């Protein structure tokens, strides 16, 4: 049957009124989806509708009328018809589809499972004390596949026991056991089947995001961008403090290596000279090698100096070359120290 034929077909006035109301609903929101409401009690459905108030709206109507309304809206909404089966509802929001999906998933709550229902996932009775006094219940646990026994005056499950696999029907005995233990293996909520927004049809697998992983990726990208800006000397409000700190460290490192007698680096220069002197004295087999005024004085702790790029390059060079460079530096610095001591 064509769309034009369905539009001109005569239907009762109350049905046309409902179709018009659904069309208005479709036109009122940026994102409209189909949700599965099968098995949700009426009272719980009303609670969900109330919880959505302010962010989304739920409308439940006959499937045939929803299909007719989707056909009457010339905006691609007819693609949602493929998700209409069983008990469904229309959900509308001005939020984006990803936000809608996240909100619906977070609103789901655990619930008991009844006999005859299909297990949505593996049902496991966990290891531990059931809190039930010894009695027939231990046999009921064992009959459904749990490793249970009486221990120290209580019924205990000795190990995690998978009593039903996903996709299998729940027996009456298992439903009773789970109810006694307070295990609620299913989630109750509005399951989004599909959502249409800005001319694009989204399915749940398109909308499922790992928020923590996404935030971690954003944080990593921001850190890499900041490092690039700092190393490229590109000034921004976020990088200038880091660049100033880096420049300060590099200037101090240069002053120490060049032995510039500046007030800001004199304590470090003195500490460096002291350590070189002590190292030289330690190589001489003479207790008097260290000047008397330094013999009972602990070596001062040098302030940490930020390594610049050249320092990082030096760490990557050949160990033998590094040792040779260190020896040359020590010889020069030691000679300067001895010259200062003995005039």
Instruction: Identify the H or E element spanning 137.
Output: helix 137-143
More confident residue, 75 or 105: 105
- pLDDT at res. 292: 67
- pLDDT at res. 188: 84
More confident residue, 217 or 284: 217
Q: What is the average pLDDT across 78-85?
A: 93
Paired residues of 33 in beta bridges: 91, 195
Contact (Cβ atoms closer than 8 angstroms) between residue 170 and residue 114: yes
More confident residue, 337 or 321: 321
More confident residue, 298 or 53: 53
- pLDDT at res. 304: 52
Enumerate residues 6+ apart whose C-beta is below 8 A from 81: 67, 70, 71
Distance between CA atoms of residues 110 and 123, nearest Å? 13
Residue 140 has pLDDT above 90, yes or no: yes
Residue 73: pLDDT band with limits 50, 70, 90: confident
Residue bearing tokens 């034009």 = 4
pLDDT tens string 327-342: 444 444 444 443 443 3
- pLDDT at res. 335: 42
- pLDDT at res. 82: 93
- pLDDT at res. 294: 65
Q: What is the average pLDDT across 5-12?
A: 62
Residue 283 has pLDDT above 90, yes or no: no
pLDDT tens string 84-103: 999 999 999 999 999 999 88
Residue 163, exposed/middle/buried by CB under 10 A (0-12, 13-18, 19+)? buried
Distance between CA atoms of residues 246 and 224, nearest Å? 17
- pLDDT at res. 316: 44
Q: Going from the N-terminus, what domains does the chain have, and what CATH number goes with each? A: 3-108+189-209 (3.30.70.1730), 123-185 (3.90.105.20), 218-342 (no CATH)
pLDDT tens string 180-203: 999 999 888 899 999 999 889 999
Residue 9: pLDDT band with limits 50, 70, 90: low
- pLDDT at res. 293: 64
Residue 147 has pLDDT above 70, yes or no: yes
Contact (Cβ atoms closer than 8 angstroms) between residue 111 and residue 57: no
- pLDDT at res. 341: 38
């Amino acid at each position: 049957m064509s769309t034009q034929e369905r539009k001109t077909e005569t239907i009762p006035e109350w049905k046309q009124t409902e179709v018009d109301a659904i069309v208005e609903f479709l036109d009122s929101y940026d994102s409209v989806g189909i949700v599965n409401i099968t098995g949700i009690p009426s009272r719980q459905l009303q609670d969900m509708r109330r919880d959505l108030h302010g962010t989304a709206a739920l409308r439940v109507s006959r499937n045939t009328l929803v299909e007719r309304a989707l056909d009457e809206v010339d905006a691609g909404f007819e693609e949602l018809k493929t998700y209409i089966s069983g008990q469904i509802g229309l959900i509308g929001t001005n939020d984006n589809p990803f936000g809608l999906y996240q909100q619906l998933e977070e609103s789901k709550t655990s619930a008991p499972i009844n006999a005859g229902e299909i297990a949505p996932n593996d049902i496991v009775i966990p290891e531990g004390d059931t809190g039930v006094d010894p009695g027939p219940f231990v046999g009921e646990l064992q009959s459904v596949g749990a490793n249970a026994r009486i221990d120290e005056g209580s019924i205990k499950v000795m190990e995690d026991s998978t009593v039903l696999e996903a996709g299998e029907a729940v027996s009456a005995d298992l439903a009773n056991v789970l109810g006694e233990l307070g295990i609620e293996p299913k989630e109750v909520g509005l399951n989004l089947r599909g959502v249409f927004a800005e001319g694009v049809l989204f399915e749940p697998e398109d909308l499922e995001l790992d928020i923590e992983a996404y935030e971690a990726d954003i944080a990593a990208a921001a850190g890499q961008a900041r490092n690039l800006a700092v190393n490229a000397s590109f000034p921004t409000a976020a990088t200038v403090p880091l660049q100033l700190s880096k420049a300060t460290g590099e200037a101090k490192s240069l002053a120490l290596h060049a032995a510039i007698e500046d007030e800001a680096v004199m304590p470090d220069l003195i500490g460096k000279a002291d350590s070189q002197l002590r190292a030289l004295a330690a190589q001489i087999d003479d207790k008097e090698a260290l000047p008397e005024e330094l013999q009972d004085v602990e070596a001062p702790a040098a302030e940490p100096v930020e390594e610049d790029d050249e320092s990082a390059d030096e760490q990557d060079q050949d160990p033998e070359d590094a040792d040779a460079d260190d020896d040359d530096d020590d010889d020069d610095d030691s000679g300067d120290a001895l010259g200062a001591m003995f005039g």
